[in-house]
Structure 1
Amino acid sequence: MSRQSQDTPRRGARTQRAGAGGRWRSWGRHHRAMALDSVRRLVRYPVGSLLTMLAIAIALVLPAALWLTLDSARLLDAELEESATLTAYLETRVDAAEAGRIEEALAAQQGVEATRLITAEEGMAEFQASLGLEDALARLPGNPLPASVVISPSDPAPQAVRRLAERLGDVSGVEEVRLDLAWLERLRHLAELGQRVTLALGVLFGLGVLLVVGNTIRLAVENRRKEIEVVTLIGATHQFVRRPFLYSGAWYGLGGGILAWGLLALGGDWLSGPVASLAASYGASFVLPTLGIGGSATLLACSTLLGWLGAWIAVSRHLAQIRPR
């Protein structure tokens, strides 16, 4: 085989690779050009572009704010679970020495993290101080309150606490073990309801974003109808025609996400002072949650995706109706 015949396939392979590389470079250049062109078109009409982005931001702020509220509720729920306690009321015949032994027996039980004994005298003193009825309670012939042991469980889960309460109730000298998890269950049910409401509102406002972007892109397609007919007539594909409008929708969505992020940040700063003061009046410390890096990235990604999707739906629908003449 001659040298020329051996070089021919190699030159053909190099030519094929060069052609593929050229197509990719051309594809990348067109994307960059369309991205920059769509930005220039938005800047050319700043008021209309800003109003569209503001409408998108308003549609995104409410579900994002509800999501932050639920996030703070989950943190509060976790703190309340950690503070869940049991109260074991001892039999009235139990004296102080036996109450100490019962406390040691309760502390030795599996699942008990810490215990605190409240004698009958201490319980009466706390009761008098909380109600302010020292004179009336002092006339009682005796102390009707039993000694009690406050128990902190190692596992604050409601099911684990219930099982622990049943086991501690069998300890000798314990009259009754009480736990109040009804408020914790109500809070959990409210959090679940809030999650579903937030999801429903997120879907509804997401559809609103699609409608806002779709209507804006529809007007842009109608304004450039003649241009689209010309490029379609000379052989442009739908992907080629659709590309600048998709970038416009993505820029609308990204701008709306940035405005929504700014509104959430301003609202958080505006409300942080009154919320901290209200929490301090109840002897607690509470800080409004923020989006953080992950939440901000999620918000911007969702807004950009919604803008791109709204543009794709609008352009695809109208391109099917445009025919070159």
Structure 2
Amino acid sequence: MSQTPPSRRGARSHKTRLSSRLRAWARHHRAMLVDSAWRLVRHPLGNLLTMLAIAIALVLPAALWLTLDSARLLDAELEESATLTVYLAQEVDDVQAGRIEQAVQAQPEVAATRLISAAEGMAEFQQALGLDDALVGLADNPLPASIVVHPTSPEPAAMQQLSQVLGEMSGVDDVRLDLAWIERLRHLAELGRRLALALAVLFGLGVLLVVGNTIRLAVESRRREIEVVMLIGATHAFVRRPFLYSGAWYGVGGGLLALGLLTLGNHWLSLPVSALAASYGASFSLPQLDLAGSTILLSCSTLLGWLGAWLAVGRHLSSIRPR
């Protein structure tokens, strides 16, 4: 008579499928995302102040970035306004002036030319200075014909070389080129770029410090909870995850507040800036962040918040030992 083998009892090992692990990993990420947001909502005042500090640290670099954007537009207009004025000899008539203009336009470094006759030059001079009555009695026109030359390259070295070439042409009396103001504007633009980069780095470090200090306090307040979960086998990545999401939420909130502050500042300053530009006979409006700029600002603030939380949690987890 055969006997039934006794059933085996005890612990059994079971391999978890990769798909199950991925689903559990995704569920935990969703849970931590919602839980970290809920913890911020439960203490709105203190967390709002933290986000406001982040926003203030982001506003100044963003405002300088907008200023540099407007400076780049000004630099594009500068390239269009970079011209040379070729003054022809007094004895050159209109026919000869047309031939000289064709010779100037044939130069490979010249993009476009405009011939101003002596009569047109006198008319523009009278209109600019308002001396119509005072110049009526002149017997002869003292102004020569001139050619306004737009070079292909606004670089000072290229314009200087073109000025020398045009000055050696027959019938040309003088070539006027003012490079000092172009150089000053280029130096100011470079200074602005370096200043914006330096401030962006400094205020980015400020955001890291604000988020890191806030997360450090959160880690200390949940120290007992962290010791318990680490005692039952939780990894550092598991413990770090909710704090990383908290840091990211701080970054998102600070970025949104920074966008709001930039919009309010733009509306507040737009009217006096427009009035100041109109007093100089120009039209200028303050630049605003477009969709791409807003996305970059939010992405940078979120990344800084996440990085600050990661640094703070990693530093404090190394000092926590479950007992």
Counterpart of 2:184 in structure 1 is 186
Could you say which residue in structure 1 is the equivalent of 2:226? Answer: 228
- The 5-angstrom pairing of residues 2-151 of structure 1 reads 19-132=17-130, 143-151=141-149
Distance in structure 2 (CA, Å) of the matches to 1:158 and 1:302: 37
Greater displacement, 132-141 / 114-123: 132-141
Runs of 5+ consecutive residues of structure 1 not aligned to the other structure:
1-14
> Is the partner of 2:46 in helix, strand or coil?
helix
Between the aligned partners of 2:276 and 2:212, the Cα distance in structure 1 is 43
Q: 1:174-323 counterparts in 2 under 5 A?
A: 174-323=172-321
Deviates more, 1:22-31 or 1:165-174: 165-174
Q: Cα offset for 1:219?
A: 0.8
Which structure's residues are more often helix, by fraction?
1
* Cα distance in structure 1, aligned partners of 2:293 and 2:252: 14
Quick one: distance in 1 between partners of 2:295 and 2:129?
Answer: 52
SS at match of 1:87: strand
C-alpha deviations, 1:71-114, integer Å up to 9, x for none?
11011111111122110011223234322332233233333333
User: Which residue in the other structure is 1:9 paired with?
Assistant: none
Q: CA deviation at 1:128?
A: 4.4
Q: Distance in 1 between matches of 2:107 and 2:238?
A: 73
Secondary structure, counterpart of 1:290 in structure 2: coil
The equivalent position to 2:168 in structure 1, one of 153, 167, 170, is 170
Q: Could you tell me how far apart the structure 1 residues matched to 2:201 and 2:230 are?
A: 36
Amino acid at match of 2:54: I
Output the amino acid matched with 2:32. Answer: M
Aligned length: 311
How far is 1:290 from its partner? 1.9
Q: TM-score, normalised by structure 1?
A: 0.87
Stretch of structure 1 that moved more, 136-145 or 291-300: 136-145
Deviation digits for residues 232-266 of structure 1 (CA, Å, limit 9, x no counterpart): 12221111111111110010011101111111122
Structure 2, unmatched stretches of 5+, are: 1-12
- Closer, same or farther in 2 for the Cα pair 1:285/1:17, shift >3 Å? farther
* Percent identical residues: 72
